[in-house]
C-alpha cells in the first residue's frame, strides 16, 4: 500500500521536513507519481524509517545510517551497539560520581554549620593537586594552571569536583585545585608538570571562618 508524505509523517510522528531529510541522507528513496511527481511511500519505506528512528536513539547519525546498513551490516551494527554501551557506561559512571559528590558537598555544609571552630580528626581522601595561583592575602598573581590541563579543569564536567587547597609559604600563599583521585577516571584529565599527589590520611582539622569574599588575610588562618 502507498502513503502520501503527510500520512507516513502522521504514522511515525515525524514532521514532513524530517522525512525529506531522511530522504536527502539516502535512508529512503520513495517513488514518485508520473502525473505530478509527488512522493509516495510504501510499507518498506515505513519499515526503513522506523529502523532509522530506532538507530538514531543509539547515537547513530542520520547521515551515517545508509552506510551502516549498506556495508557489512552485522559488523557495522555491532560496532554501533558496542559504542553506545560504552557511552552509556561512561555517562552512568559520571552521574554516579556526581551524585556522590553532591552528597559529599551537602555533608560538608551540614558539618560546617554544626562544627565551626571545633578541632577534629578527619580522614582525608587521596587527592591530585593542580597548581592554580599564588597570592598574598587577597592579591592574586596570574593563573598558573598548566595550559595542557586548563581547558579540562575549567570545563563544566570537571569544575563540580574541584576543591580549593591553600598552602602558606614564605610570604607567598599557594592555591591549588584538588580533585579526589577516585573521580579522576571519569574526568580524563591528562598528566602535567607541577602536580602533587596526596595520599589518603587522617588529619587534624578545624573548620574556620575565612571572612567575607575579598577580605581574606593569611593571618586569619595563622591565628587559628
d(CA 161, CA 167) in angstroms, rounded, equals 20
Cα separation values, 161 from 64, 157, 177, 191, Å: 36, 8, 9, 17
| Per-residue pLDDT at 198 exceeds 90 | yes
Percentage with pLDDT > 90 across the chain: 46
* Structural contact between residues 126 and 182, judged by C-beta atoms closer than 8 angstroms: yes
Cβ neighbours of residue 188 closer than 8 Å, sequence gap 6 or more: 152
**What is the per-residue pLDDT for 44?**
92
Q: Which residue pairs from 39-43 have beta carbons closer than 8 angstroms and sit at least 24 positions apart in sequence?
A: 39/4, 39/5, 40/2, 40/3, 40/4, 41/2, 41/3, 41/4, 41/5, 41/7, 41/8, 42/1, 42/2, 42/3, 43/1
Query: Which of 27-36, 61-70, 173-182, 199-208 holds the top average pLDDT?
Result: 173-182
The more confidently predicted of residues 55 and 65 is: 55
**Mean pLDDT value of segment 162-174:** 84
Cβ neighbours of residue 224 closer than 8 Å, sequence gap 6 or more: 206, 208
**What is the per-residue pLDDT for 132?**
92
**What is the per-residue pLDDT for 219?**
61
pTM: 0.74
**What is the per-residue pLDDT for 37?**
72
The more confidently predicted of residues 29 and 219 is: 29
Phi/psi of residue 118, nearest 5 degrees: -95, 135
**What is the per-residue pLDDT for 34?**
74
**What is the per-residue pLDDT for 210?**
65
Chain segment 104-140, per-residue pLDDT in tens: 999 888 877 777 777 888 899 999 999 999 888 778 8
Q: Which residue pairs from 41-44 have beta carbons closer than 8 angstroms and sit at least 24 positions apart in sequence?
A: 41/2, 41/3, 41/4, 41/5, 41/7, 41/8, 42/1, 42/2, 42/3, 43/1
Chain segment 6-55, per-residue pLDDT in tens: 999 999 999 999 999 999 988 888 888 777 778 899 999 999 999 899 98
| Per-residue pLDDT at 87 exceeds 90 | yes
Mean pLDDT of the chain: 86
Amino acid at each position: 500500500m502507498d502513503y502520501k508524505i503527510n500520512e507516513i509523517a502522521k504514522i511515525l510522528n515525524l514532521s514532513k521536513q524530517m522525512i525529506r531529510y531522511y530522504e536527502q541522507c539516502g535512508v529512503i528513496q520513495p517513488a514518485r507519481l508520473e502525473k505530478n511527481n509527488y512522493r509516495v511511500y510504501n510499507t518498506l519505506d515505513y519499515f526503513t524509517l522506523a529502523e532509522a528512528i530506532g538507530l538514531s536513539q543509539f547515537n547513530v547519525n542520520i547521515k551515517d545510517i545508509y552506510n551502516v546498513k549498506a556495508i557489512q551490516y552485522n559488523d557495522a551494527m555491532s560496532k554501533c551497539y558496542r559504542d553506545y554501551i560504552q557511552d552509556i557506561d561512561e555517562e552512568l559512571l559520571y552521574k554516579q560520581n556526581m551524585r556522590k559528590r553532591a552528597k559529599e558537598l551537602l555533608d560538608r555544609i551540614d558539618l560546617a554549620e554544626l562544627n565551626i571552630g571545633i578541632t577534629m580528626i578527619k580522614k582525608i581522601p587521596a587527592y591530585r593537586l593542580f597548581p592554580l595561583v599564588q597570592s598574598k592575602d587577597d592579591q592574586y598573581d596570574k593563573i598558573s594552571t598548566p595550559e595542557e590541563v586548563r581547558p579540562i579543569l575549567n570545563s563544566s564536567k570537571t569544575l563540580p569536583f574541584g576543591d580549593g587547597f591553600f598552602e602558606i609559604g614564605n610570604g607567598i600563599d599557594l592555591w591549588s585545585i584538588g580533585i579526589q583521585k577516585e573521580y579522576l577516571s571519569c574526568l580524563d584529565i591528562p598528566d602535567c608538570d607541577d602536580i602533587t599527589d596526596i595520599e589518603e590520611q587522617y588529619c587534624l582539622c578545624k573548620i574556620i571562618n575565612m571572612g567575607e569574599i575579598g577580605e581574606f588575610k593569611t593571618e586569619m588562618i595563622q591565628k587559628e
